[in-house]
């Protein structure tokens, strides 16, 4: 990874400049199914692929399952497409429960795989790397240490917070993003559940307030039907990446990737 003037470069993808990048999640029960889903992605569909490790059967109990899936998906993807590895905890909407020790073990498995498969220290050759980035939840005990270890292995770190129940006020969202920055995030991410249009406005207001002076990319999402506008137009307010589905969705309100790309082209080509 390379970060210059708030812009993060991962393989052939740039976050933090121009049109938001499109991340397509892979949701599968086995490493083999995950790799098959990666191979089935149409050319150019994904700027980033997110592998949802929490959907892999048994991954919470056996981190080796997660690591095998990361390696299989990396091998199936084009060399220019970066891979984001994410185990979403049940407390933040994930598919299976993992206590704090199990969660840390999964993160460490991804980190160790990055080192063993050729990542080494930051700036090293990425040809043999498995994951290019990893998601670490802000609420994780010892989050700063996990982030530091991941970055030392050459991984970019998305520090995230997900609220599937509500949308905090704009100033609280900005505070969450600042805490993510302070623990060492390369990318700060917040996703919330809106209950009325004012909630969506709160998210977009916070995105603009943080992005205006940010020294790293920010990603924000309002989920559900009300939040679709944030997936389409979040980049106007400073969000560097948006999520789209190419098959099974990983969160409520995800838009089909082809329809999302058409909307992004309409918004950003006209600017």
Q: What CATH number should be reported for the domain holding residue 137?
A: 3.20.20.70
**pLDDT, mean of residues 199-208:** 98
Distance CA 250, CA 50 (A): 10
pLDDT tens-digit series, residues 89-119: 999 999 999 999 999 999 999 999 886 555 4
The owner of tokens 């930051």 is 122
Distance CA 178, CA 18 (A): 23
pLDDT at res. 18? 85
Half-sphere exposure of 101 (CA within 13 A, CB side): 2
Is residue 145 included in any domain, yes or no? Answer: yes
Residues assigned a catalytic role: 162, 189
Distance CA 134, CA 111 (A): 8
CA 141 to chain centre: 19
Is residue 7 included in any domain, yes or no? Answer: yes
Is residue 173 included in any domain, yes or no? Answer: no
Half-sphere exposure of 223 (CA within 13 A, CB side): 17
Distance CA 151, CA 128 (A): 17
pLDDT tens-digit series, residues 24-73: 999 999 999 999 999 999 999 999 999 999 999 999 999 999 999 999 99
Q: Could you give the number of structural domains in the chain?
A: 1
Ramachandran angles phi, psi of 249, nearest 5°: -80, 150
Judge contact between 41 and 50, C-beta under 8 A: no
Contacts of 186 by beta carbon, 8 Å cutoff, 6+ apart: 1, 3, 8, 133, 151, 156, 157, 158, 216, 217
CA 185 to chain centre: 12
Encoded tokens for 75: 């091998």
Banded pLDDT at 121 (limits 50, 70, 90): very low
Residue 195 scores a pLDDT above 80? yes
Is residue 107 included in any domain, yes or no? Answer: yes
pLDDT tens-digit series, residues 223-253: 999 999 999 999 999 999 999 988 766 667 7
Range of the domain at 243: 2-159+227-269
- pTM here? 0.91
Between helix 143-152 and helix 100-116 the angle, nearest 10°, is 10
Is residue 79 included in any domain, yes or no? Answer: yes
Rounded to whole angstroms, the maximal C-alpha distance in the chain is: 49
Is residue 177 included in any domain, yes or no? Answer: no
Q: DSSP for 158-218, please give it.
A: EEEEEESS----HHHHHHHHHHHHHTT-SEEEEEE--SSHHHHHHHHHHHHHHHHH-SS-E
Judge contact between 84 and 51, C-beta under 8 A: yes
Judge contact between 257 and 35, C-beta under 8 A: no
> How large a percentage of the chain has pLDDT more than 90?
83
The SS3 of residue 96 is: coil
* H-state helical runs in 41-187: 63-76, 100-116, 143-152, 170-182
Is residue 182 included in any domain, yes or no? Answer: no
pLDDT tens-digit series, residues 141-192: 999 999 999 999 999 999 999 999 999 999 999 999 999 999 999 999 999 9
Encoded tokens for 7: 């812009």
Is residue 174 included in any domain, yes or no? Answer: no
């Amino acid at each position: 990874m390379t970060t210059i003037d708030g812009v993060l470069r991962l393989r052939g993808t740039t976050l933090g400049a121009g049109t938001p990048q499109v991340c397509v999640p892979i949701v599968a029960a086995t490493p083999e199914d995950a790799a098959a889903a990666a191979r089935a992605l149409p050319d150019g569909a994904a700027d980033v692929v997110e592998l949802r490790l929490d959907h892999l059967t048994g991954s919470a109990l056996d981190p080796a399952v997660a690591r095998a899936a990361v390696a299989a998906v990396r091998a199936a993807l084009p060399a220019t497409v970066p891979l984001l590895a994410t185990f979403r905890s049940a407390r933040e909407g994930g598919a299976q429960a993992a206590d704090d020790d199990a969660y840390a073990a999964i993160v460490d498995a991804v980190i160790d795989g990055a080192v063993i498969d050729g990542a080494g220290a930051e700036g090293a050759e990425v040809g043999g790397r498995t994951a290019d980035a990893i998601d670490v939840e802000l609420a994780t005990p010892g989050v700063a240490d996990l982030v530091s270890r991941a970055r030392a292995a050459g991984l970019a770190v998305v520090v995230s917070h997900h609220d599937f129940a509500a949308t905090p006020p704009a100033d609280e969202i900005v505070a969450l993003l600042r805490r993510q920055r302070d623990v060492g995030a390369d990318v700060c991410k917040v996703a919330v559940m809106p209950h009325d249009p004012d909630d969506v406005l709160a998210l977009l207001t916070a995105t603009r307030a943080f992005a205006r002076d940010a020294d790293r990319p920010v990603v924000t999402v309002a989920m559900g039907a009300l939040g679709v506008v944030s997936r389409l137009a979040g980049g106007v307010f400073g969000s560097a990446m948006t999520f789209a589905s190419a098959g099974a969705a990983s969160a409520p309100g995800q838009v089909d990737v082809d329809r999302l790309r058409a909307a992004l082209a309409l918004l950003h080509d006209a600017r």
